[in-house]
Structure 1
Amino acid sequence: MSSNLLAQVKKLAQPDRKQLLRQIGRGIEKESLRVSPKGKLSQQVHPEALGSALTHGSITTDYSEALLEFITPVSADIEESLTQLSDIHAFTHRNIGEELLWSTSMPCVVGGDDSIPVARYGDSNVARMKTAYRYGLGHRYGRAMQTIAGIHYNFSMPHRYWELEWEAAGEPGKLKHFITERYLDLIRNFKRYSWLLVYLYGASPALCPSFLQGREHNLETTADGKSLYLPYATSLRMGDLGYTSNAQKDLSICYNCLDNYVDTLREAIMTPHAEYAGIPHGENDDYQQLNDSLLQIENEFYSPIRPKRVANSGETPLSALRRGGIQYIEVRCVDVSPFTPLGLDAEQIRFMDTFLLYCLLAPSQVCNDEVQAVQAANLTTVVNRGREPGLMLQDTEGPRALSEWAEALLAEMAPIAELFDEVNEADDHANAMATQLAKVQDPELTPSARVLREMREQDLPFFRLAMQYSEHWAGYFRELDVDPGLISGLQQEAVASLGRQEQLEAADKVSFEQYLKEFYAQYELV
């Protein structure tokens, strides 16, 4: 452990700081496809019993009508967050008829773009904007990519922690700028080490051939001809087949300072991109995309991690960041695991907390194009070949074996896990660390290896294995004993959300064209 990191850990171990580990804020956003009883992508509209996808606080949709997204409120209690997520799953299973929630990140059987219904949110201007944005994604990247599900993990340190750190540093500048700089430190380290999370938790080494129909790829075909895979892959979702974009590869986003991040994304949103010029964006009120820029809005920029701030109503995310600085970070590289009912569990959250706190406390190197290229190459290598024996990655001082580097990182994280356990009077974080070390020492213990092993041992193609788990967890949630009061609360929220949607539609006073004009005018001022 470096002397700098050791000093940071010792400082965190002080009584007034260590107790703040109990107050770390967490939020989970979990996506799941609705599928038919035969495992085909649902063609049904968003169920009214689930409320309005536009205004419901816990249940919405992402790209497609069939891609549900469940959202938990910010909580400092891991078990509370998971219980809330479980309640939402149970409520949903009780309100989608015979349909199932797909259990993996890579999708079920899809029949091409026309079989993937774009999400609808109503007739208000904000609803039309969300739908037009999704049409744009479909034209730019293909709709199939938008059927991939993932888990987004939101993480924030308590405000008191930042006050103590700022005071110890001599109160340099404004507190919000200090917090932003420290979160950027975390993000840069996360980009350097994110391959480790993908190795440990990647659960998408295979997929159904229907996902890639008509597309070139380098995947192998299983012996039965019914699945595509790579023998040592960890998370194909995070590779060229998933949430990446050739058009965005030349977009150099720097995380050394917030101004550069905001300015680069703003320029990408405001500058026309010739490749998208032919897609209608308002001619004769035909909005097949919001604009013809490289990015329609900030969310189109794909990244394994994002700096975030809660925006005011109608405010752009970049405007919110410029106004108040970074409030929390969103981890976006987590696959949905078919092996747990929720797609992740408490042990995984405990390790991710340890990992993120390590990224915050460890020395953080400034980034440049060369550094970012190396980091991207490492991530791609682990995505496609992470479990390959003797795999080498590129560290700052040269080639380094994945296993050796991973063990060294886990050893440096161990004292942070010990702090968590001290304050919680438990050994759960140490146990989570031990589980991850075992995965490094034996790649067969990783979720990606387990997917391929179960396909092989049960003689099942990817689709059938995923279907089997989808049916299993559907039965689990439909039989789960849930507090009737919680179900009633979600029912009331569903009804209330439909009312809020109607209110939004009635409140619009300007045309959609004018609404977009006023929205994009904010970028001129960012």
Structure 2
Amino acid sequence: MIPNISSALNWLESNPEALNGIRRGLERESLRIDKEGNLAKTCHPQILGSTLTHPWITTDFAESLLEFITPAQTNIKETFAFLNDLHINTIKSIGDEQLWPFSMPCFIANDEEVRIAEYGSSNIGKLKALYREGLKQRYGAVMQTIAGVHYNFSFPMSFWSAYLGVGDEVTGKNEISAAYLKLIRNYYRFGWVIPYLFGASPAICRSFLNNKLTKLPFEFTDSMAYLPYGTSLRLSDLGYTSSAQSALGLTYNSVDTYIGQVRHAMTLKSEEFQAIGLEKEGKRIQINSNILQIENELYAPIRPKRVTLTNERPSDAILRGGIQYVEVRSLDINPFSPIGINEEQARFVDLFLIWCVLADAPMMRSEEIQYTKRNWQKIVVEGRKPEQTISVGCEGQEQPLRLIGKSLFVDLTRIARILDRQETDNSYEDVCNKWIKAFDEPELTYSGQLLERFKKEGLSQVGLSLAKSYKEALNQSSYQVLTKDDFVEQSQLSIKKQKEIEAQDNIPFAEFLKQNGGE
């Protein structure tokens, strides 16, 4: 079953103030579509500012793939109000266009319909565009339009002081980093609970399967392919994965080992990617032919992170100051929310990450990482299957998913009651009371609810209907924490910053590329 954390919970119940000051930040991606539900062919709207330098609104892979970013804050409601304001401003700025409400993309005929994001004429802007061209060559542009939500989470120093006995972030960086890595190991072992409950991609447009080989047991309608018990095709082998990375066997036992493994992947040649070549018809098409062009190409359900300094690599930042927060990357877009995620989900992730840092987490061998991935795949492909089983540990016996999930919720409920001491209501415990039922009734999960509607109305029809209703609602909404002037100011400032960066370049791009991983 799950680890016994009774003593840790007893400690936490005696030190509830240690959790005061948890910080959270949200990143939500979303495709722009036209009013008929097709992928938008327009450029990123200039009124929104520079995608290279805007702190809140940018693009991910494609010109049409928006990314909304909130600053890290301690108040959940303020964080969601900020994200809501970003959506209001964007909806008011994109004319007739709308936001696709699902993780898996709308109908896209082929890769050539997807326009890679552009970031201007600076060396760093060209490098960002080249990296995306490399992704297109390696994995296909349509796959890169898959969208998700990233949840950035950090414990306050008060927690580390009480839990680890460290005085500050500098002297305690090794202990804090080790604790975050323990959290990550537990996330790999038990984080499948997130796609089980909140996976929202049990089906895809049939266009996504164009020329793709898959062994998944799909069932079909005229326009949709679906898995009867699937939860998150986004996290399946069909979605955001890389076969070249699957054999890396990354572990999370120590900072030095993890960073060493990532850096090794950045220098390890891939026969598959070498075959693509570095240039095509005189145009550069990837940064290099290594397994990872850059560190951010690493696909993982959770990442250790630290805010970087100017021109600092993510791994260098962690070596410098230790792990500062974790980035949870396994949340599908929530189509039941106009902004892709709701407070209920945030509170669940809070509870689960606190559990992960409290529970014992033995060191992992590379083989166990692969084993945990198989557990995840079972959940994302057939998590709602009647009497579904799952195992804990490499040698663990298969046990009913229902029992493991409900056992986990017993601990989560105790943590919820501790957090609710800081609330004016029982928001955290209410989340537990609601979602524990989904282990007995899988149809209550997001994927279960969605698939029933897809079968009745059609995936594209549901997507377009939701997109229209959310556009109308956001258009009629008022800003809560930001103002129109704030957005105008940030837009103008971002454009100014981009021009300054472009004016400061003093070396040719070819030389800049060599300095940043190019061959």
TM-score, normalisation: structure 1: 0.94
SS of the residue 2:132 aligns to: helix
Q: Residue 199 of structure 2 corresponds to which residue in structure 1?
A: 202
| Alpha-carbon contact 2:57-2:67 (below 8 Å) kept | yes
For 2:288, which of 268, 286, 291 is the aligned residue?
291
1:284 and 1:207 mapped to 2: Cα distance? Answer: 34
Task: State the distance in 2 between where 1:262 and 1:147 align.
Answer: 28
Distance in 2 between the 1:384 and 1:343 partners? Answer: 22
- For residues 352 and 230 of structure 1, the distance between their equivalents in structure 2, rounded to whole angstroms, comes to 26
1:349 Cα shift? 0.7
Which residue identity lines up with residue 51 of structure 2 in the other structure? A
- 1:410 is aligned to 409
Q: Does 1:94 align with 2:121?
A: no
| 1:460 is aligned to 2:457 | yes
Find the counterpart in structure 2 of residue 524 from structure 1: none
Aligned position for 1:155: 153
Task: Read off the aligned partner of 1:460 and give its amino acid letter.
Answer: E
Please name the residue that 2:443 is paired with: 444
Asked if the contact 1:273/1:293 (under 8 Å) is kept, the reply is yes
2-structure distance, mates of 1:208, 1:11 = 49
The more displaced of 280-289 and 483-492 is 280-289
Which of residues 236, 239, 257 is equivalent to 1:239? 236
CA distance in 2, matches of 1:414, 1:158: 21
98, 106, 109: which one aligns with 1:108? 106
Change (3 A) 1:296 1:234: same
CA distance in 2, matches of 1:347, 1:114: 38
- Check the 8 A contact 1:314/1:519 in 2, yes or no: no
Superposition deviation, residue 9 in structure 1: 1.9
Preserved contact between residue 104 and residue 149 of structure 1 (Cα < 8 Å): yes
Percent of residue pairs bearing the same amino acid type: 37
Q: Secondary structure at the match of 2:147?
A: coil
Q: Secondary structure at the match of 2:36?
A: coil
The letter for the 1-side match of 2:471 is: A
CA–CA distance in structure 2, aligned partners of residues 2 and 99 of structure 1 = 47
The answer (yes or no) to whether the contact 1:232–1:386 under 8 Å persists in 2 is yes
Residue 343 of structure 1 and its aligned partner are, at CA, apart by 1.4
Shift of 1:512: 1.4
Distance 1:220 1:226 in 2: 13
The residue that corresponds to 2:54 in the other structure is: 56
Letter in 2 for 1:387: R
Aligned to 1:332, the other structure's residue is in SS state strand
Match in the other structure for 2:400: 401
Map 1:260-339 onto structure 2 (within 5 A): 260-281=257-278, 286-339=283-336
CA deviation after TM superposition for structure 1 residue 463, in Å: 1.2
For 1:6, the aligned partner's letter is S
- Give the match's secondary structure for 2:457: coil
CA positional deviation for 1:379: 0.3
Of 77, 80, 99, the match for 1:79: 77
- What SS is found at the alignment partner of 1:121? coil
- Quote the offset at 1:277 in angstroms: 1.6
Q: CA RMSD in A?
A: 2.0
Alpha-carbon distance between aligned partners in 2 of 1:129 and 1:468, rounded to the nearest angstrom: 38
Aligned pairs for 1:179-258 (under 5 A) are 179-217=176-214, 218-222=216-220, 224-258=221-255
Q: TM-score, normalised by structure 2?
A: 0.95
SS at the partner of 1:480? Answer: coil
One-letter code of the match for 2:10?
K
When residues 285 and 58 of structure 1 are mapped into structure 2, their CA distance, relative to the original with a 3 A threshold, is farther
CA distance in 2, matches of 1:423, 1:484: 22
In structure 2, distance between residues paired with 1:274 and 1:3: 41
Q: Which amino acid aligns with 1:340?
A: S
Moved more, 404-413 or 475-484: 475-484
- Show the 5 A alignment for 1:168-187: 174-187=171-184
Q: 1:385-400 maps to which residues of 2 (within 5 A)?
A: 385-396=382-393, 397-400=396-399
Whether contact under 8 Å (1:308, 1:317) holds in the other structure is yes
Q: 1:493 aligns with which of 490, 494, 502?
A: 490
> 8 Å contact 1:50–1:494 — kept in the other structure?
yes
8 Å Cα contact 1:136-1:290 kept in structure 2: yes
**C-alpha displacement at 1:517, in angstroms?**
2.6
Higher deviation after alignment, 185-194 or 409-418 = 409-418
Q: Say if 1:232 and 1:387, in contact at 8 Å, map to a contact too.
A: yes
What is the match of residue 135 of structure 1? 133
Q: Following the alignment from structure 1 to structure 2, what is the Cα–Cα distance between the partners of residues 470 and 43? A: 17
Alignment gaps of 5+ in structure 1: 522-526
1:283, 1:38 → 2: CA distance? 35
Matched residue type, 1:344: I
CA contact (8 A) 1:154 1:328 kept: yes
Flag the 1:285–1:514 CA change in 2: closer, same or farther, 3 A: farther
Amino acid at match of 1:211: F
8 Å CA contact retained: 1:21, 1:423: no
> 1:173 offset after TM fit, Å?
10
Q: Which has the higher helix share?
A: 1
Return the offset for 1:2.
8.6
Deviation per CA, 1:197-225: give whole Å up to 9, x if none: 11000010001111111212334333x42
2:170, 2:321 within 8 Å by CA — same for their partners in 1?
Answer: no
5+ long unaligned stretches in structure 2: none
Task: Give me the whole-angstrom Cα distance separating, in 2, the residues matched to 1:163 and 1:484.
Answer: 32
Cα contact 1:305–1:329 (8 A) shared by 2: yes
Separation in 2 of the partners of 1:455 and 1:123?
43
SS class of match (1:13): helix
Contact 1:374/1:394 (<8 A) preserved: no
2:468 match: 471
